[in-house]
Amino acid sequence: MYLGAHVSIAGSFAKCIDRAAALGANTFMTFASSPRSLQTQLFPKTEIDLYLKKKSEFRLGPHFFHGVYLVNLATENPDYLVASCNSLIFYQQLAGRINAVGTIFHIGSHKGRGFSATVNQIIDSVNQVIAASPAGTKLILENAAGQANTVGQTFEELAQIITGIKDKSKIAVCLDTQHAFAAGYRPEEVLDAFDRIIGLPYLSVIHFNDSQTDFNSHVDRHDNIGSGKIGIKNMAKILNDPRVKQIPFILETPGENHSGPRKQDVDLLKQLAASAWAKHRKLPFGK
């Protein structure tokens, strides 16, 4: 299985490889710019070459980008929409350059206007980004917890967006377990609901996070695996579901003092996926 975590590119782009390897990950996710700015800057060829050399040496698997938090394809501001699309296009073109899978991103907030008022704009924007994306890359929609009018809190919203995409070979979905729990999808039902409404063939990656907040809270607050409201047994059941055996799992857990995922967190993932935890496949969901 591909089990990994979000790691930093601070210092130089190639340092993400060292950080992922130090965690014991075989898949990983990074930003490609400041997560709190829509401005981007090309990396020097020397950094990209070093990245590719190290990735080959450490034999790391899939690399996913996470789009910046400021992207909003549901905005009323046309200039902001252009900047959001340009940020995603930059990420996608870099993904093609380094053979990354693509870019996972939060679709944005309709600011109370409603999904129906913004869905056509979102679809048009996604089609624009996909048209500028290199062959073989995926633009990956992430489900939302539903906080602050965010788009994608229901699988129906994601499915409706996908219906309008012209090149469906370049579109995929990231399932965030905490967001789904906070949006009202119970752990024992979430994969069934995803398959029924969107279709598991669209599932490209799972953000594997426990939840600090209650079920159906619509609040986006991640917790370390086994420390939150979803519970370790429920998390183990999802991880060991045979339908997602080939899907990469990425931690976005807070770690200690919000410093991000630790090696012990990736080690726990491996333990949950090991044969010693296979008994969870036969146990009911619960804490």
Active site residues: 36, 66, 69, 106, 142, 176, 179, 207, 220, 222, 252
What six digits make up the tokens of 2?
């591909």
| Longest distance between any two alpha carbons in the chain, whole Å | 53
126 sits in which H/E element: helix 115-131
Quick check: 5 and 260 in contact, CB under 8 A?
A: yes
Residues found in the chain: 287
Closest CA to 143 of 152, 151, 135: 152
Instruction: List phi, psi (to 5°) of 7.
Output: -130, 165
DSSP 29: E
Task: Tally the C-alpha atoms within 13 A of residue 245's C-alpha that lie toward its C-beta.
Answer: 5
**Sequence-distant (≥ 6) Cβ neighbours of residue 174 within 8 angstroms:** 104, 140, 141, 142, 143, 204, 205, 206, 207
Using CA atoms, how far apart are residues 140 and 101, in angstroms rounded to an integer? 9
Q: Which two tokens stand for residue 157?
A: 């919203």
Radius of gyration, alpha carbons of the chain: 18
Structure tokens at 46: 């020397």
Rounded Cα–Cα distance for residues 74 and 113 (Å): 9
